[in-house]
Amino acid sequence: MTVYYVDFTATGTSTGANWANAIDNWTDFDTLLESTVSAGDSIYMMGGQTYTSTSTLATVIDGTQNLPIKLIGVASGTTAEPPTVSDWVTGSDRPLIACGANAFRLDDYWWMVNLRGTITEATGFRADVGSYAYNCDFRNTSGTAGRIALSMPSANLIVNNQLQSDNGSAIETSTTLARVHSNYIKGSAIGAKFSNSSIFTFNIFYDCVVGLDGTISDDVYMLGNVFDNCTDGFTASSTEAPGTIINCSFSNCTNGLKLDYSSTNKLNWFLDYNNWYNNTRDISVDNGSTEDNSMKGIHDTAVNPNFTAAASDDFTLTTGSALRNAGMPLLHGVG
């Protein structure tokens, strides 16, 4: 397992062997990811600067489940070789990968950690089976409809990221087993589009046309998500796949939960301990033409969540918020 270093301000030999000789240009960086790395390798990118793409990056090199390939941003000025978790970085000091119209595609079992990125290419920042995105800020700024910010097709883990696609999906998981936790997804045509057996926990969907798109498959578990100021918070199709929505807040939406089913084909779901506030329709059916709240749970509420400053990206609850301690309790000694 080899460690590589990337710093476009370096002035050494661009071998990547250490910080003094860090890879210092896009051509060598592309070659590293497409031809050189192998399972278990780590690539550290120096923070505090922009890495401008000059060509498509599309690696076919895979990590493995036990030996993923790790692409990790570290704080500007880091000298540790190799860096440790104490050198990880947040906020605007994370390295910024500016792809423009060029693709950025990683293969199976890759990590993307502590990175920022802008792109206009169709599939955005992409990593395939078994990959992991943590503490990244990715945005697709294309004016073309349907473009994706983060594409992670199958069996992936997406945690603690900020994601936005101006005219497409902030996240798209086209097959199965997405695990999406604690992400902030805003200002997108679609916040997240998923397929079968996916779990969404403690995410915020803000100011999206559709927050969470379940029209491919409704087989989803949702816990503790916020849908605010969306046209449709969550959309679902007419299949009978099971679904669960617990401890979620739907506020200031045209349709909180928008279902497309006939009167004889309702979704086989469990809903409870959710909050519905200031939506035109809390639960709408038949593509939004009718409101039907019969699916609500007996512990559902309709109170102002009183976020501290949603328009300024602060979704903490104020001291007086009625949603504090209002979720489903943990039960001990059941039965």
Residue 218: what are its φ and ψ, rounded to 5°?
Answer: -95, 5
Q: Is 32 helix (H, G, I), strand (E, B) or coil?
A: helix
pLDDT at 140: 98
In a domain, 80, yes or no: yes
Question: Minimum mean pLDDT among 77-81, 308-312, 319-323: which range?
Answer: 319-323
pLDDT at 335: 53
pLDDT at 290: 83
In sequence order, which residues have a C-beta less than 8 Å from that of residue 108 and are 6 or more positions away?
A: 62, 63, 128, 129, 130, 131
Which of 33, 19, 179, 160 minimizes the C-alpha distance to 104? Answer: 33
Using pLDDT thresholds of 50, 70 and 90, give the confidence band for residue 182.
Answer: very high
In a domain, 68, yes or no: yes
Residue 320 CB neighbour total at 10 angstroms: 8
In a domain, 329, yes or no: no
Which of 218, 203, 252 minimizes the C-alpha distance to 232? Answer: 252
Q: What is the pLDDT of residues 226-276, one digit of tens each?
A: 999 999 999 887 555 567 899 999 999 999 998 876 544 556 678 899 999
pLDDT at 8: 98
Give the pLDDT mean for 310-324. 89
CA distance 252 to 255: 9
Q: What is the pTM of this model?
A: 0.93
Q: What is the pLDDT of residues 141-166, one digit of tens each?
A: 999 999 999 998 877 889 999 999 99
pLDDT at 324: 85
89, 74 contact by CB (below 8 A): yes
Which amino acid is it at 58? Answer: A
In a domain, 252, yes or no: no
289 token code pair: 């033409």
Share of the chain above pLDDT 70, in %: 91
Tokens 């997405």, residue located: 178
In a domain, 26, yes or no: yes
Give the pLDDT mean for 102-122. 97
Q: Is 92 helix (H, G, I), strand (E, B) or coil?
A: helix
Number of domains in the chain: 1
In a domain, 92, yes or no: yes
pLDDT at 266: 56
46, 7 contact by CB (below 8 A): yes
pLDDT at 11: 96
In a domain, 178, yes or no: yes
H helices then E strands: how many in the chain?
A: 1, 34
In our burial notation (b when 16+ CB lie closer than 10 A, e otherwise), range 32-51 reads bbbebbebebbbbbbbbeeb
Residue 69 burial class via C-beta count within 10 angstroms: exposed 0-12, middle 13-18, buried 19 and up: buried
Give the pLDDT mean for 81-106. 97
Ramachandran class of 193: left when φ > 0, alpha when ψ lies in -120 to 50, beta otherwise = beta
Report, in angstroms and rounded to the nearest whole number, the Rg of the chain calculated over CA atoms: 21
Range of the domain at 154: 3-193
State the average pLDDT for the chain: 91
Most confident of 92-96, 178-182, 193-197, 221-225: 92-96
pLDDT of 32 over the 80 cut: yes
Give the pLDDT mean for 188-211. 91
In a domain, 102, yes or no: yes
Which amino acid is it at 330? Answer: L
pLDDT of 56 over the 80 cut: yes
Task: Give CA 28 to chain center in angstroms.
Answer: 29
